[in-house]
Amino acid sequence: MKVTKAQAQANRAHIVETASTLFRERGYDGVGVADLMGAAGFTHGGFYKHFASKTDLMAEAATCGFEASAEALAETDLRAFLTYYLSREHRDAPGQGCTMAALCTDAARQPASVKSAFATGIEARLVAGAAPEGQVDPTVAKRSRARRIALIAQAVGAVVLSRSCPDDAALADEILDACRDDILARLPDAPTA
C-alpha cells in the first residue's frame, strides 16, 4: 500500500521527534540508525527515504529540540522555568530536557550542519528574550544580550556539570542549588500590579 504524502510527512516528523529524545538521552554516538528507526516503529531500510544521512537527522532533531524548549519557556514565566531547569528533575530526564544541556558537548564534535542548527537555536533563544529592535538604546541592548548569554551559559553549564557527577553525589545537587540561587537572585523582580 502506497503511503500518502501527508502520512510520509507525519512519519518523518515522528522520526525526528523520536531522534530528538533519543539523542538527548544517549548522545549522537549512542544511537544507531537501526535502533532509532525501531524506536520510532519503522524498519531500518526506511531511514534513507526520509534523510540523506544520520547527520541530516541530527541537525533536524536539534532544531526540533530547540523549538520544544522555546514552547516550554513561552508557556511559563522565566523564574519558574529556571527553577525547573536547574532542578534534579530536569537534570535526571535528559530525553525530555534541554537540547543544549544534553548535546552541546556532542555538537562541538559534529559537522557544520549540526553546529549550525545549534547556533540557530541558541540565537533564537537570545533574540526571544530581547526587546524589539529600535526600542532600546544600542548600548543597553548590547549589555542585555550579554546578560542573556551569561545566564544561558551558566544554566546550561550547571546542568552539564551536575550530570557529570554520580547520580547520588551531593556535589550534583550543590551545583544546581548554587547556580539556581545565583541566577534567580540576579533576575529583576516581577512587576507588581
Domain of 63, in residue numbers:
5-186
Residue 56: inside a domain, yes or no? yes
Residue 138: inside a domain, yes or no? yes
Residue 98: inside a domain, yes or no? yes
Is the model's pLDDT at 111 over the cut of 60? yes
Amino acid 1: pLDDT? 64
Amino acid 2: pLDDT? 78
Instruction: Give per-residue pLDDT as tens, 32-71.
Output: 999 999 999 999 888 999 999 999 999 999 999 999 989 8
Residue 191: inside a domain, yes or no? no
Instruction: Give per-residue pLDDT as tens, 124-166.
Output: 999 987 767 667 788 988 999 999 999 999 999 999 999 999 9
Residue 87: inside a domain, yes or no? yes
Residue 192: inside a domain, yes or no? no
**Dihedral through CA 92, CA 94, CA 100, CA 104, nearest 10?**
100
Is the model's pLDDT at 77 over the cut of 80? yes
Q: What is the pTM of this model?
A: 0.89
CA 141 from centre of chain: 24
Q: Label residue 192 exposed, middle or buried (CB < 10 Å: 0-12, 13-18, 19+).
A: exposed
Q: Say which CATH number the domain at 169 has.
A: 1.10.357.10
Amino acid 62: pLDDT? 97
Residue 157: inside a domain, yes or no? yes
For the chain, the domain total comes to 1
What does the DSSP 8-state code read for residue 50? H
Residue 59: inside a domain, yes or no? yes
